Amino acid sequence: MPPPTTYSLPPSLPLTLIVATTPIRVASTTTPPSENAATRLGIGLKGTLPWPRIKADMSFFARVTSRPPKQGTTNAIIMGRKTYDSVPKHLRPLGKRISVVITRDRTGLVREGVLAELEARKVKMAAAKAKAETEAGSESAGPGKVEEPVTDAIVTPSLDEALERLDAVYGPEGLGKVFVIGGAEIYGASLRGGGVLAGRPVRIVMTHVVRKRVTDSGEEVEVPFECDTFFPVERFTPENGWRCVSSEEVTEWVGEDVTGEWKREGDVERTILCNSDCLTMGQGSERNENTMGNMQCASNAMQNIDKKLKARGKHSIDDQRRPYHGPEWHEKQG
């Protein structure tokens, strides 16, 4: 880890929450389910993902989180301790990224364990790199050689301190993008804001996952996953200033072209973009001025999403929750 120094991360540097979700319908206890069913976004089951390994989504996550915005910088991925532990041991901390682990542990054991794994990971990566360079010969050397992102790990007790540590260690010149990758408590803290988060934009990149199976009669039906952990969605309302974003803007966020196509692996379907039918928080001082425009935009988005869901045979849900029944890309500022 580089020695701490004095920097100041620009408040315009956004947090990007990256998450995969699946819709879980929760029937009301007072009204018929068909009339008033809420949809929660499931993200986990017993400390792991609710669905089998989806290679395409994992590859997307790896590309987006490890690709720095410019040479000489490294992206950070902020996570809770349980999320860190869910990464296969031989892969953690994840390479070419700064893994920031948030934990309540006060004994120092979590920090010792993470740093020990970091040193072991660096040794393995250095050996693999040396072997690759030896096999490549002189072609891998020379002034044109690209500077790779670093592999590092930081352990902190809070999200505020995580950002402060990134600021102190890397600053705006060494830090690329900052991603939040889970779990639910860390997502919630990112959305609540306050502290060093005050005024900082927050974006949400959401992959939508559904499971389809064919019945004996030949009909394809959606089979919900079991979940016990959910993404906090209650703050995503038009009244809070959400605005629509273009696919071009989302492409700029993630650094690669994205589409709204549903893609299938086995009995699982996923999509990572809703094109213009997605919502994002209004920007700072524009929020009050653009409230009506944003609400109209949100209303149009909800109608378009509902049409797509009905066309695919999915159930629509009530207007207050309808935006969250599909893949979404959100952005929030101040």
Query: What's the angle, vertex CA 146, arms to CA 139 and CA 17, rounded to 5?
Result: 140
Is the four-CA dihedral 171, 172, 173, 174 of positive or negative sign? positive
CB 27 within 8 A of CB 37: yes
Q: Which residues contact 253 (CB under 8 A, 6 or more apart)?
A: 16, 203, 205, 329
Residue 236 to residue 8: CA distance in whole angstroms: 29
Provide the whole-model pTM.
0.76
Amino acid letter, residue 117? E
Question: Closest Cα to residue 165, out of 94, 100, 96, 243?
Answer: 100
Residue 72 to residue 251: CA distance in whole angstroms: 22
CB 40 within 8 A of CB 229: no
Both tokens assigned to 103: 């934990």
Q: Residue 93, preceding bond cis, omega within 30 degrees?
A: yes
Domain boundaries, the chain: 15-332
Tens of pLDDT along the chain (334 residues)? 655 555 567 766 888 999 888 988 876 555 554 455 678 889 999 888 898 888 888 888 999 999 999 999 999 999 999 999 999 999 999 999 999 999 999 999 999 999 999 999 999 999 998 888 888 875 555 555 678 899 999 999 999 999 999 999 999 899 999 999 999 999 999 888 777 777 788 888 888 888 888 888 888 888 899 999 999 865 555 666 556 566 777 788 888 887 767 777 777 777 654 322 233 443 333 322 222 223 333 334 334 434 444 444 433 222 222 222 233 444 444 4
Which helix (H) or strand (E) segment holds residue 155: the answer is strand 152-156
Q: What is the pLDDT of residue 123?
A: 95
Give the relative orientation of helices 184-192 and 159-169 as an angle to the nearest 10 degrees.
80
* Residue ranges in 137-263 assigned as alpha helix (H): 159-169, 171-174, 184-192, 247-254
DSSP lists the bridge partners of residue 263 as: 270
Q: What is the pLDDT of residue 334?
A: 44
Q: What is the DSSP code (8-state) at residue 45? A: B
15-332 carries CATH number 3.40.50.2000 = no
Residue 191 to residue 173: CA distance in whole angstroms: 26
Q: How many DSSP H helices and E strands does the chain contain?
A: 9, 14
Question: Closest Cα to residue 173, out of 248, 40, 286, 70?
Answer: 70
**DSSP 3-state of 71:** coil
CA atoms within 13 A on the CB side of 44: 17
Residue 322 to residue 332: CA distance in whole angstroms: 19
Q: Which residues contact 215 (CB under 8 A, 6 or more apart)?
A: 221
Amino acid letter, residue 20? A
